[in-house]
Structure 1
Amino acid sequence: MSEPLVPRRVAVATVLSSIAGGWRTYRRCAMPALAFAAVFAALGVGIFVALAHFGLAAMMLPFAGGFLLVGPAVLAGFFGLRRAVAAARRPGWGDVFAGFRRAPRGLWVLAGVCSLLLLIWLTDAATVYSFMIGAATPDVAQVARFHFWTSLMGAVLAFIVFNVTAFAVPLLFDGRAQLVTAVTASVRAVFANPGAMLAWGLILAVAIIATILFPPLLLVSLPCLAFASDLLYLEVFPPA
């Protein structure tokens, strides 16, 4: 049964302390966390190589930004690892799989919606690419205009997903709310903490952009930010 969920107000310092806590958690389960993140790092590198091979390097940023839309779908595995660390168990791959097995149906519905938004985003970005660049070899100005307009479109979708999933995913994972209640609580929490959530969203965006420049960074940034999101959720919605 869903419990009353009233978000606490937190400061930007809470976001920073959650990131520090995420780093400490990562150090305690580095091997399984790194191995799990490596799956997505390898997938990202493969996508970037394919885009470069077909002369679509300008699409790298939209594809990388798209991870902000589907990223919440992979949090269950990292949540499983963090729960193992919190319980003073030795974390391993079994905890990653246990996290996904534990995920309720509402979380998978949310992941499906995020995946649908990703398809919409990539379709829109490809349409803009065909109009602004097409088959020609783009110059710097064309690429800059393309990234500007697609970033505006992507920011709208990312804002929607961030509001909906920021706290709904862990609430669903812990079984503290049903889908509608979790989404409503997440949106209320984001708007109740505009400064902290703006800082958190910017950190996520910068991390994604940084991985474009250096893809192996995802091996550290993805698990650390996943753990940090779980810790931040416990600050905003502390258990009874």
Structure 2
Amino acid sequence: MPPSLDPCRIPISTVSAALAGGWRDFRRVPAPAAGFAAVFALIGVVIFALLEHFGLAPMRLPLAGGFLLVGPAVLAGFFALRRAAEAGRRPAVGEVLAGFRQAPRGLWGLAGVCCLLFLIWVSDAATVYSFMIGGDAAPAGGQVLRFHLWTSLMGVVLAGIVFCITAFSVPLLFDGRAGLVQAVTASVRAVFANFGAMLAWAVVLGAALIATIHLPPLLLLSLPWLAFASDLLYLAVFPPASRRPDGETN
């Protein structure tokens, strides 16, 4: 593992600083960032409308949580917007497309793994749904609560795995600083080297995304904000060589 992939240790306060910086970055590029996020907000509206139409409303929470599994696959577009603004360019929707075009094969492979885990998660949640609720048109509150409890416990395990392997591997791959195996290894090492800060970040991510996915229009704000904050956290843990302080590696 090259020295540039040794993670720096960060305090929990870095998470709040990244959130503040992410919000500032969003305010610099609100139109293209919200426009890209609108794609996922529209998908959320359609999915939730279909669930309501077919009487599957309790599946909203599992599907909302499942977005945490596929979310890393869309970060390249937001990273491209932020990097363009940092470079002094006026970002547009074309920057999002350019970000995906320049994404290396390793990043697409990682996105495929995330999508596979999402399919596993949805099929498991649907199986639990069939056992606990089945064809009840108006399930009792206790049934729905038990269903959400069990699916949430299953989801935490999958989300934890995805978080560890993608928290930093996606930007490392996007910047071409590592291959797939090196990026995933570095990401896992960084998460455990900064366990307190990463636990706080995971809680913020999970709570914010699940809450706003239930109100899809809010994704226009939360999705780019958290994506930009994620990029700032990455730069704090894996700064470029010119910004890396001595003695801060794990």
* Structure 2: segments with no counterpart, 5+ residues: 242-250
Q: How does 1:17-36 map to 2 (within 5 A)?
A: 17-36=17-36
> How many pairs are equivalent?
240
Who is 1:65 aligned against? 65
2:121 alignment partner AA: W
In 2, distance between residues paired with 1:208 and 1:140? 24
Give the match for residue 233 of structure 1.
234
| Deviation of the 1:220 alpha carbon | 0.3
Amino acid at match of 2:19: I
- Bigger shift: residues 183-192 or 12-21: 12-21
Matches within 5 A, 1:120-199: 120-136=120-136, 137-199=138-200
Write out aligned runs for 1:80-159 (5 A): 80-136=80-136, 137-159=138-160
SS in 1 for 2:5: coil
SS state at 2:239 partner: coil
| Residue in 2 that maps onto 1:54 | 54
Deviation of 1:3 after TM superposition, in Å, equals 6.2
The structural deviation recorded for 1:210 is: 1.3
How far apart, CA to CA, are the structure 1 residues paired with 2:100 and 2:135? 42
Q: How far apart, CA to CA, are the structure 2 residues paired with 1:89 and 1:171?
A: 22
Residue in 1 that maps onto 2:40: 40
Once the two structures are aligned, what percentage of the paired residues are identical?
Answer: 71
- Describe the superposition over 1:60-106 as per-residue Cα deviations: whole angstroms up to 9, x where unpaired: 00111110000000000000000011101101011111110110000
Aligned partners of 2:12, 2:221: CA distance in 1, in Å?
A: 22
What is the letter of the counterpart of residue 50 of structure 1?
L
Q: What is the CA–CA distance in structure 1 between the aligned matches of 2:132 and 2:108, rounded to whole Å? A: 36
CA distance in 1, matches of 2:229, 2:199: 15
1:203 and 2:200 equivalent?
no
User: What is the CA-CA distance between 1:226 and the residue it aligns to?
Assistant: 0.4
Give the aligned CA root-mean-square deviation in angstroms.
Answer: 1.1
1:5 aligned residue: 5
Letter in 2 for 1:30: P
Q: Is the 8 A contact 2:213 2:219 kept in 1?
A: no
8 Å contact kept, 2:44–2:213:
no
Structure 2 Cα separation of the partners of residues 215 and 2 of structure 1: 41
Structure 1 pair 2–103 and aligned structure 2 pair: CA distance change class (3 A): farther
| Normalised TM-score (structure 1) | 0.98
Q: 1:99 to 1:2 in 2, by over 3 A?
A: farther
Q: 2:9 aligns to what SS in structure 1?
A: coil
Q: Counterparts of 2:73 and 2:7 in 1: how far apart (Å)?
A: 22
How far residue 127 of structure 1 moved from its aligned partner, in angstroms, is 0.1
Select between 199-208 and 106-115 the one with higher mean Cα deviation: 199-208
How many angstroms does 1:214 deviate by?
A: 2.2
Question: What is the DSSP-based 3-state SS (H/G/I as helix, E as strand, rest coil) of the residue aligned with 1:91?
Answer: coil
Contact 1:32 1:91 (8 Å CA) reproduced: yes
CA contact (8 A) 2:64 2:214 kept: no
Distance, in Å, in 1 between the alignment partners of 2:35 and 2:127 is 35
Report the secondary structure of 1:7's partner residue. coil
Greater alpha carbon shift after TM alignment, 142-151 vs 207-216: 207-216
Q: How does the TM-score come out when normalised to structure 2?
A: 0.94
Greater alpha carbon shift after TM alignment, 58-67 vs 208-217: 208-217
